[in-house]
Amino acid sequence: MKIVDKIIGTYSEREIKRIRPLVDKIESLRPRMQALSDEELRNKTAEYRKRLEEGETLDDLLPEAYATVREATARVLKTEHYKVQLIGGIIMVHGDNEGLVLPPRVAPVQVCIVPIQQKKEGVLDKAYELRDRLKGNFRVKVDDTDKSPGWKFAEAEMRGYPVRIEIGPKDMEAGKCVLCRRDTREKIEVTLEELEAKVGELLDRIQKEMLERARDHRDKNTYTAADMEEFEKIFAEKSGFVKAMWCGDEACENVIKEKLSVTSRCMPFEQEHIADTCVCCGKPAKKMVYWGRAY
Ligand SMILES: [Zn+2]
């Protein structure tokens, strides 16, 4: 999955420049988010959804949505999103060359129905009927604009709708429709009777597989180092994260930062024992830390 490559270590200067204003915007929203009560913070999601329905674009809302997630994470997990993780997150939702790829659970629209040859009798009605069947359980819309199906497909991809449903006269005759996954582009033919069940299964599968791919990629790009020699060697040869022990002294963090442009990223709750001593100074270690190259 190309996009995860970008998150972990290999994204280009140009891409970072492109999203830097977004990151700065998120940073600037921080005091406002910190001032909210827990309940006000919780209500934000509903507010964004409403504003989206009222015509604000996802791009308008993204900085606030991120600032909210960041603040909620800070309160619940007592941990901070680092700037680089924000950048990674933004690239992740910004998706591939065709646009966004959103996990179904956070997607404002989970299913977009695209009628094919919608001027033909009954096609639009069928599309609305499918929408009405699905809307109790999913966030669904029909693209009934006058644009061509090709245009609508491209737009659905750009906006990152996890599942697109294609329905035209031939499908109707056969009692079928086509589901198309945004993440893999896979197309699946289903009968109209089994629509609700198949859409539900597919959204669950997309959610699960996107998470698995991201985890898998992270794990494949995470290394361990017991001492400075190993630590330096990994950062010289690979991109990704390194798990290593730390004594807790900021001086060591600074040495590592100066020497390798590497900073601590996260002190996981689930600690592992990699060595008895600090990777930098050799004094007794207190914590295992994830380290990554700073940008
Ligand atoms: Zn140390």
Judge whether residue 135 has pLDDT over 90: yes
Instruction: Report the DSSP pairing between strands 140-142 and 111-115.
Output: parallel
Q: How far is the CA of 283 from the centre of ligand 1 (A)?
A: 6
Question: For position 295, what pLDDT does the model report?
Answer: 56
Judge whether residue 95 has pLDDT over 70: no
pLDDT digits over 260-294, tens only?
989 887 787 788 999 999 999 999 999 999 898 87
Q: How far is the CA of 272 from the centre of ligand 1 (A)?
A: 17
Q: How far is the CA of 286 from the centre of ligand 1 (A)?
A: 9
Inside any domain, residue 258: yes
Q: How far is the CA of 173 from the centre of ligand 1 (A)?
A: 71
- Name which residue leads in pLDDT, 70 or 182: 182
Indicate the burial class of 278 (C-beta count within 10 angstroms; 0-12, 13-18, 19 or more). buried
Q: Give me the residues near ligand 1 (ion), CB cutoff below 5 Å.
A: 247, 249, 252, 278, 280-281
pLDDT digits over 231-256, tens only?
999 999 988 889 999 999 999 999 99
Q: Are residues 132 and 163 in the same domain?
A: yes
Q: Are residues 157 and 192 in the same domain?
A: yes
Inside any domain, residue 80: yes
| Overall average pLDDT of the 72-82 stretch | 61
3-class DSSP assignment, residue 199: helix
CB 167, CB 183: distance < 8 Å: no
Q: How far is the CA of 250 from the centre of ligand 1 (A)?
A: 8
Q: 9: pLDDT confidence band, cut at 50, 70 and 90?
A: very low
Judge whether residue 179 has pLDDT over 90: yes
Q: 4: pLDDT confidence band, cut at 50, 70 and 90?
A: very low
Inside any domain, residue 139: yes
- Cα separation, 277 vs 187, in Å, equals 53
Q: How far is the CA of 193 from the centre of ligand 1 (A)?
A: 64
R_g of the chain computed on alpha carbons: 23
Q: How far is the CA of 244 from the centre of ligand 1 (A)?
A: 11
- Cα separation, 189 vs 174, in Å, equals 11
Q: Are residues 70 and 32 in the same domain?
A: yes
Q: 79: pLDDT confidence band, cut at 50, 70 and 90?
A: low
Inside any domain, residue 106: no
- Cα separation, 245 vs 259, in Å, equals 17
Q: How far is the CA of 276 from the centre of ligand 1 (A)?
A: 11
- Single out the residue in 32, 63, 94 at which a domain terminates: 94
Q: Are residues 123 and 187 in the same domain?
A: yes
Q: Are residues 118 and 205 in the same domain?
A: yes
Q: How far is the CA of 269 from the centre of ligand 1 (A)?
A: 20
pLDDT digits over 17-33, tens only?
666 677 778 888 888 88
Question: For position 6, what pLDDT does the model report?
Answer: 41
Supply the range of the domain harboring residue 243. 222-293
CB 106, CB 69: distance < 8 Å: no
Q: 133: pLDDT confidence band, cut at 50, 70 and 90?
A: very high
- Name which residue leads in pLDDT, 46 or 132: 132
Judge whether residue 91 has pLDDT over 60: no
Task: Give, in order, the Cα–Cα distances in Å from 58 to each of 55, 105, 293.
Answer: 9, 15, 30
| Overall average pLDDT of the 48-76 stretch | 74
Inside any domain, residue 214: no
Inside any domain, residue 31: yes
Report the CATH number that the domain containing residue 268 is assigned in CATH: 3.30.110.30
Q: 42: pLDDT confidence band, cut at 50, 70 and 90?
A: confident
Q: How far is the CA of 252 from the centre of ligand 1 (A)?
A: 5
- Cα separation, 255 vs 281, in Å, equals 9
- Cα separation, 90 vs 70, in Å, equals 12
Inside any domain, residue 101: no
Q: Are residues 194 and 230 in the same domain?
A: no
Give which of 194, 95, 114 is closest to 152, Cα–Cα.
Answer: 114
Q: Give the distance between the most distant pair of CA atoms in the chain.
A: 78
Q: How far is the CA of 254 from the centre of ligand 1 (A)?
A: 10
Q: How far is the CA of 284 from the centre of ligand 1 (A)?
A: 8
Q: How far is the CA of 270 from the centre of ligand 1 (A)?
A: 20
Q: How far is the CA of 246 from the centre of ligand 1 (A)?
A: 6
- How many domains is the chain built from? 3
Q: Compute the CA torsion angle 110, 208, 188, 106 (nearest 10 deg).
A: 10
Q: How far is the CA of 225 from the centre of ligand 1 (A)?
A: 14
Q: How far is the CA of 256 from the centre of ligand 1 (A)?
A: 10
Q: How far is the CA of 259 from the centre of ligand 1 (A)?
A: 14
Q: How far is the CA of 49 from the centre of ligand 1 (A)?
A: 47
Q: Are residues 243 and 200 in the same domain?
A: no
Question: For position 112, what pLDDT does the model report?
Answer: 97
Question: For position 5, what pLDDT does the model report?
Answer: 42
Report the CATH number that the domain containing residue 159 is assigned in CATH: 3.40.50.800
Inside any domain, residue 105: no
Question: For position 203, what pLDDT does the model report?
Answer: 97
3-state SS, 60-129, equals HHHHHHHHHHHHHHHHHHCCCCCHHHHHHHHHHHHCECCECCCCCCCCCCCEEEEECCCCCCCHHHHHHH
283: left (phi > 0), else alpha (psi -120 to 50), else beta? beta
Judge whether residue 15 has pLDDT over 60: no
The winner for highest mean pLDDT among 89-98, 105-114, 121-130, 217-226 is 121-130
